[in-house]
Amino acid sequence: MKNEDYHIPVLLHAATDALINDRDGVYVDVTFGGGGHSRELLNLISEGRLIALDQDADAFANSISDDRFLLLRQNFRNIQNVLMSIGVEKVDGILADLGVSSHQFDELERGFSFRYDAILDMRMNQDAELRAIDVVNDYSQEKLSQLFIRYGEFRKGEARKIVNRIFEERKKHSIDTTGKLADCVGGLISEKYKNQFLARVFQSIRIEVNRELNVLEEFLLQIPNILKPNGVISVITYHSLEDRLVKNFFRTGDLDGILNKDIYGVVSRPLDPINRKPIIPSQEEIVQNPRARSAKLRMAKSNNIIE
């Protein structure tokens, strides 16, 4: 698959232009994917260095031949240890484009989308053990309800109906494909809202399979330790759960958004938000790339002071 077809980079210039504060610095793209953001970052730096991470083996087909570039197969939850392993202590900028790539959605056998009938998989890292088929068929009613409430933001009654329908179907046969899951729960909602409803159901399961919020939390907590003073981080999110975590951490240094104050009442936080309100794609970009419609970009700068 061509790079430009693998994943069209969202908010390309907004996410990269503000990131570069030293053209000879060290930068990290923690979600390489199709390499669109990485290519733009390489255009913006001079003698600098770009390190990219991706846990999906398919992304390596898009690797870039450039002496300034290094691509590693790693989950960005391990960013600090990964950087230390290659002799990098701190970096000038970090970019994260969260969520699922267009390639992962469009590859039928990956089982991310209800638009195709395929084995329920949804693993971003195909070497991981837990699959969507395991979640849907093996989880208890309580565990399934909780993930639909937390990750799909369904009300308790809505989650209970979804789980009851799944358990009724599980008594008859295994729900082993995306089509079976969509057929199983799709009748709970009117046709008008069906796609939106199924998107939330599938999102809930995908987040569970990939531990996406746990990974994001671990990643964010490491940022103050690896950003140089005045270093910048850009994060593109695609749903409210991700955006809330990023917003809270950028504003307060706390994942729950709790302000930390010293005895004098002065707020202590490791990052300063660059944009108070998220940057969203233009209508023109959404027309060109419909998957950009829910994207939100937040940026922050390290406020560590060189002693």
Convert 164-195 to b/e letters by CB count within 10 Å (16 or more is b): eebeebeeeeebbbbbbbbebbbeebeeeebe
User: Which CATH number fits the domain that encloses residue 37?
Assistant: 3.40.50.150
Between CA 256 and CA 272 the distance in angstroms is 16
In this predicted model, what pLDDT tens digit does every residue of 49-103 receive, in sequence order? 999 999 988 889 999 999 999 999 999 999 999 999 999 999 999 999 997 776 6
Residues 219 and 95 in one domain: yes
Q: Which domain does 136 fall in, by range? A: 108-210
For residue 108, give the amino acid letter: L
The CATH number for 184's domain is 1.10.150.170
Position 115 in a domain: yes
Residue 225: inside a domain: yes
- Phi, psi of 8, deg, nearest 5: -75, 120
Of 179, 210, 241, which one is at a domain's C-terminal end? Answer: 210
Q: How many CA atoms does the CB half-sphere of 73 hold within 13 Å? A: 11
Q: At what angle do helices 212-226 and 240-252 cross, to 10 degrees?
A: 20
Q: What is the DSSP letter of 9?
A: P
Q: How many domains does the chain have?
A: 2
User: Both 176 and 220 in a single domain?
Assistant: no
This prediction's pTM: 0.91
- Taking only the tens place, the pLDDT of each residue in 180-212 is 999 999 999 999 999 999 999 999 999 999 999
